[in-house]
Chain A
Amino acid sequence: MASPEFNKLQAMDESQNKLRQQGGETSARPTTNGAVRRPPASREAAPGTTVGQVRARNAFLTAEDVNVHYGDIHAIKNVTLEIGRNEVIALIGPSGCGKSTFLRCLNRMNDTIESARVTGRIMLDGQDIYSKDLDPVALRARVGMVFQKPNPFPKSIYDNVAYGPRIHGLAADRSELDHIVHKSLDRAGLLKEVKDRLDEPGTSLSGGQQQRLCIARTIAVNPEVILMDEPCSALDPIATARIEDLMDELSENYAIVIVTHSMQQAARVSQRVAYFHLGNLIEVDETEKIFTNPRTKLTEDYITGRIG
């Protein structure tokens, strides 16, 4: 795929972007930029070719040429994507397009699926997460994950949040653990609702509360990146709004990658959007550009509701 020249071009473009953004200009770049960057005939993206801004400023998590196979199925094809520090990036696309699979590559959760095979390189803060020296268990403490369905453990609310700090030995004594649990619940916006019933089982909460409990559980281990796999798909609009507000606050401290089927949600919470189609990463760009001026026909069709 990407030729050296192509990469150079991208890198140049990247530095320009950085300059521009440091100058306070965050969006509304001239659209001709794109025309410079890609071959003229690529309105219909060829497989493995991504249109737009795969590079992030201040990249923290970098995926290069990632391919995923489930047995004979080629689920992710040559995906290159960078995720910046304190950035919220939304992965969108029709069902089965590989966005969840890509997400699960980022904390090696695909390791738990026997038939899955991941190739390519994924770097977290300059460190290859698929290298042999890296312990996936330690990685998952740095890259937390929130799942589609709220999945509190069959334990008390307190123990749900304390679970991560306990297994990673983050608290020296009980009072420190109490502090971590309270702080995490507070940051997940749940403390007020549950502080008098921390001993009750996590499953006794409502769906939205359960999901915020799962978020609290994730941030309790103090990760650097949070992956969210359709975190609101099982929630009502009010609970969804609360989670979205929460994401906004959390992005001050974490990089967040969210898979979502709701275009409105992607538009509300993310700074960048990546559009996946049949295992290809078709287009990546700033949220506003993707939704107002998509460059590929596929992206346009998807966001206008013609496919999906």
Chain B
Amino acid sequence: MAALRGTTRHAADRNKMALTTIVLILTGLAVAGYLAGARRAYASVGGPSNLRRLHSLPGYHGFFVAICCLLPALLVLLLWVVVEPRAVVVLVTQGLPEAARGLSEGELNLLINNIRNLAAGDVVSGQVDAMLTDAALRYTELSRLGRTLSAVLVFGIAVLGAVLAWRRIGTDFRARHKVESVVTGLLVAASSIAILTTIGIVASVLFEAIRFFREVPLTEFLFGLNWSPQTAIRADQVGSSGSFGAVPLFAGTLLITAIAMAVAAPVGLMTAIYLSEYAPPRVRDVAKPLLEVLAGIPTVVYGFFAALTVAPVIRSAGEAMGLAVASESALAAGLVMGIMIIPLVSSLSDDAIKAVPRAMRDGALGLGSTRSEAMLHVILPAALPGIVGGILLAVSRAIGETMIVVMAAGLAANLTANPFEAVTTVTVQIVTLLVGDQEFDSAKTLAAFALGLVLFVVTLCLNVLGLQFVRKYREQYE
């Protein structure tokens, strides 16, 4: 048994090595194809002095051969890597005795896992019997065969592609067009990755949310006033019926966002006004990078700053004034979040103010306005669309912010407008719903997706609205 384990371990390593070797050899083939293609292009016009007669430069011919060598071979290799393990499993299963094949799906999966582990030399659950050893040997055998086959197939295709491409090279061959179209294809593929990922994320959230709404009606979710997502796992459990009214969460989110914006909007705007209009250049040179540092602080740092420093201060200050303040008050989380957002508001507002044409400023000053009059009556109104756009973007940032509220806001879903009480937010609940051991088909877990979906829709709307404002503003002055 130990011997088998040794060899299979070795085989697994070799498997990885084989793939690397194949890719390396393919690269070598492609380089050779490039050189051969370029040389043939030179030769077809009788040397570098007649280069003008070639439709495309020799380099393009070389690239064409290299691409024809590499691209189909890589595609086949990719396909092989995906398909091979499944094929091997099917073949191994067919080789099992009748009794084993009659097992249920779950048991069969377990058996195959054991076979695979044994072949790879890992720990095997249960008794290792003759059937298992047999199957493992077979598995190893088939894998080795697959590797050999794949290498032969891939190299064959690579050489065939290169040779076919090489033969097409001639004076009139339009290699440049072919290469350009392949490059275009690569660029399209690259850019579609981001788009496809977005679509995938939205789809997954959407489908899970739909599953959730099958169990909990949409109206209860959107308009219910009671949030307590603990559901009964066993039928005999008591007191955990679960109720999914998301209104307290959104109210909490709105409360904290409102506090954050009440801090960030005026402070950020005034910072922008000072930096763009009043600050001497030396102050600006120091203050701007400092603000950017503020933007670069990780939100988790803001989080414990809020939880450990700001919240106790607010609590003791409130108690000194005879107010009841929760130790995880909405005020603490909102204040710190507002400070976090200041750089965003100030830099977007700064851009908007800077974009107001100098003529506008000169016109106001030329009439004898003071700087603050010019700012208040002329520049700010002209910059307003940009500033509003920036603030909307900041709001959507505040709504989606997670780390600060996870650490500083509470978990209790209170429906209140009192900033001294603890509230919870959508993002906090998503985190708590998904942290720890979960079963993935209960309403409790699925609720996270529904919350995520609504959050996504809200921030998307805000972003679209904000960008619309900014765009409208740009059209006005360019």
A interface residue numbers (CB < 8 A to B): 107, 109, 112, 114, 137-141, 144-145, 147, 149, 151-155, 163-164, 167-168, 214, 217-218, 221
Alpha-carbon distance A144/B363, docked complex (angstroms)? 10
B367 and A109: CB pair below 8 A? no
User: What residues of B have a CB within 8 angstroms of the CB of A155 in the complex?
Assistant: 381
Q: Taking the complex as formed, is B361 at the interface, i.e. its CB lies under 8 A from any CB of chain A?
A: yes
Q: Taking the complex as formed, is B2 at the interface, i.e. its CB lies under 8 A from any CB of chain A?
A: no
Pick the residue among A137, A152, A153, A214 that contacts B368 (CB under 8 A).
A137
Q: Taking the complex as formed, is B370 at the interface, i.e. its CB lies under 8 A from any CB of chain A?
A: yes
Given A109-B366, A218-B367, verify A114-B281 contact (CB < 8 Å).
yes
User: What residues of A have a CB within 8 angstroms of the CB of B357 in the complex?
Assistant: 151
A154 and B382: CB pair below 8 A? yes
A167 and B359: CB pair below 8 A? no
Q: Taking the complex as formed, is B295 at the interface, i.e. its CB lies under 8 A from any CB of chain A?
A: no
Contact with A along B356-377 (1 / 0, CB 8 A): 0101111111111110010001
Pick the residue among B368, B373, B378 that contacts A138 (CB under 8 A).
B368
Pick the residue among A112, A154, A217 that contacts B367 (CB under 8 A).
A217
User: What residues of A have a CB within 8 angstroms of the CB of B370 in the complex?
Assistant: 137, 167
User: What residues of A have a CB within 8 angstroms of the CB of B280 in the complex?
Assistant: 114
Alpha-carbon distance A125/B369, docked complex (angstroms)? 22
Given A154-B381, A163-B377, A167-B377, verify A140-B367 contact (CB < 8 Å).
yes
Given A167-B369, A218-B367, verify A151-B381 contact (CB < 8 Å).
no
User: What residues of A have a CB within 8 angstroms of the CB of B361 in the complex?
Assistant: 112
Alpha-carbon distance A139/B280, docked complex (angstroms)? 23
> B324-375: which residues lie under 8 A (CB-CB) from chain A?
357, 359-370, 373
Alpha-carbon distance A217/B382, docked complex (angstroms)? 18
B377 and A140: CB pair below 8 A? no
Shortest C-beta distance, B280 to chain A (Å), equals 8
11 contacts between A and B (CB under 8 A): A107-B366, A109-B362, A140-B365, A141-B367, A144-B367, A149-B359, A151-B363, A163-B369, A163-B378, A167-B373, A168-B368
Shortest C-beta distance, A229 to chain B (Å), equals 9
Contact with A along B81-115 (1 / 0, CB 8 A): 00000000000000000000000000000000000
B377 and A147: CB pair below 8 A? no
A167 and B367: CB pair below 8 A? yes
Shortest C-beta distance, A167 to chain B (Å), equals 5
Alpha-carbon distance A147/B360, docked complex (angstroms)? 10
Shortest C-beta distance, A103 to chain B (Å), equals 11
User: What residues of A have a CB within 8 angstroms of the CB of B382 in the complex?
Assistant: 153-154
User: What residues of A have a CB within 8 angstroms of the CB of B359 in the complex?
Assistant: 147, 149, 151
User: What residues of B have a CB within 8 angstroms of the CB of A145 in the complex?
Assistant: 362, 366
Alpha-carbon distance A214/B364, docked complex (angstroms)? 11
User: What residues of B have a CB within 8 angstroms of the CB of A152 in the complex?
Assistant: 363
Alpha-carbon distance A292/B382, docked complex (angstroms)? 47
Alpha-carbon distance A141/B370, docked complex (angstroms)? 11
Among A109, A112, A154, the most chain B Cβ lie within 10 Å of the Cβ of: A154
B369 and A112: CB pair below 8 A? no
Which residue of chain A is the closest to B373 with respect to CB atoms? Answer: A167
Size category of the binding interface on chain B = 20 to 34
User: What residues of A have a CB within 8 angstroms of the CB of B365 in the complex?
Assistant: 109, 112, 140
B360 and A153: CB pair below 8 A? yes
Q: Which 9 A-B pairs have the closest CB atoms?
A: A141-B368, A145-B366, A151-B359, A140-B368, A151-B363, A164-B367, A154-B382, A153-B378, A167-B373
> B260-280: which residues lie under 8 A (CB-CB) from chain A?
280
User: What residues of B have a CB within 8 angstroms of the CB of A139 in the complex?
Assistant: 368
User: What residues of B have a CB within 8 angstroms of the CB of A141 in the complex?
Assistant: 367-368
Alpha-carbon distance A218/B360, docked complex (angstroms)? 14
Alpha-carbon distance A109/B366, docked complex (angstroms)? 7
A112 and B368: CB pair below 8 A? no
Shortest C-beta distance, B21 to chain A (Å), equals 64
Shortest C-beta distance, B288 to chain A (Å), equals 16
Seed contacts A145-B362, A153-B381, A154-B360; 16 additional CB < 8 Å A-B pairs: A107-B366, A109-B365, A112-B362, A140-B365, A141-B367, A147-B359, A151-B359, A153-B364, A153-B377, A154-B382, A163-B378, A164-B367, A167-B367, A168-B368, A218-B366, A218-B367
User: What residues of A have a CB within 8 angstroms of the CB of B368 in the complex?
Assistant: 137-141, 164, 167-168, 221
Shortest C-beta distance, B119 to chain A (Å), equals 76
Alpha-carbon distance A59/B280, docked complex (angstroms)? 37
Alpha-carbon distance A151/B364, docked complex (angstroms)? 9
Among B281, B363, B377, B382, the most chain A Cβ lie within 10 Å of the Cβ of: B363
Alpha-carbon distance A151/B361, docked complex (angstroms)? 9
B369 and A144: CB pair below 8 A? no
Alpha-carbon distance A296/B375, docked complex (angstroms)? 46
Alpha-carbon distance A66/B257, docked complex (angstroms)? 56
Shortest C-beta distance, B104 to chain A (Å), equals 75
User: What residues of B have a CB within 8 angstroms of the CB of A151 in the complex?
Assistant: 357, 359-360, 362-363
Alpha-carbon distance A112/B366, docked complex (angstroms)? 10
Alpha-carbon distance A75/B359, docked complex (angstroms)? 21
Which residue of chain B is the closest to A141 with respect to CB atoms? Answer: B368
Pick the residue among A107, A114, A153 that contacts B363 (CB under 8 A).
A153
Shortest C-beta distance, A297 to chain B (Å), equals 35
Alpha-carbon distance A154/B357, docked complex (angstroms)? 11
Which residue of chain B is the closest to A150 with respect to CB atoms? Answer: B359
Which residue of chain A is the closest to B382 with respect to CB atoms? Answer: A154
Alpha-carbon distance A163/B381, docked complex (angstroms)? 14
Alpha-carbon distance A154/B382, docked complex (angstroms)? 6
User: What residues of A have a CB within 8 angstroms of the CB of B367 in the complex?
Assistant: 140-141, 144, 163-164, 167, 217-218, 221
Alpha-carbon distance A282/B148, docked complex (angstroms)? 91
User: What residues of A have a CB within 8 angstroms of the CB of B373 in the complex?
Assistant: 167
User: What residues of B have a CB within 8 angstroms of the CB of A107 in the complex?
Assistant: 366
User: What residues of A have a CB within 8 angstroms of the CB of B363 in the complex?
Assistant: 147, 151-153, 214, 217
Which residue of chain A is the closest to B381 with respect to CB atoms? Answer: A154
User: What residues of B have a CB within 8 angstroms of the CB of A214 in the complex?
Assistant: 363
User: What residues of A have a CB within 8 angstroms of the CB of B381 in the complex?
Assistant: 153-155
Alpha-carbon distance A168/B378, docked complex (angstroms)? 15
Alpha-carbon distance A114/B280, docked complex (angstroms)? 8
Among A114, A137, A164, A168, the most chain B Cβ lie within 10 Å of the Cβ of: A137
A147 and B362: CB pair below 8 A? yes
User: What residues of A have a CB within 8 angstroms of the CB of B369 in the complex?
Assistant: 137, 163, 167
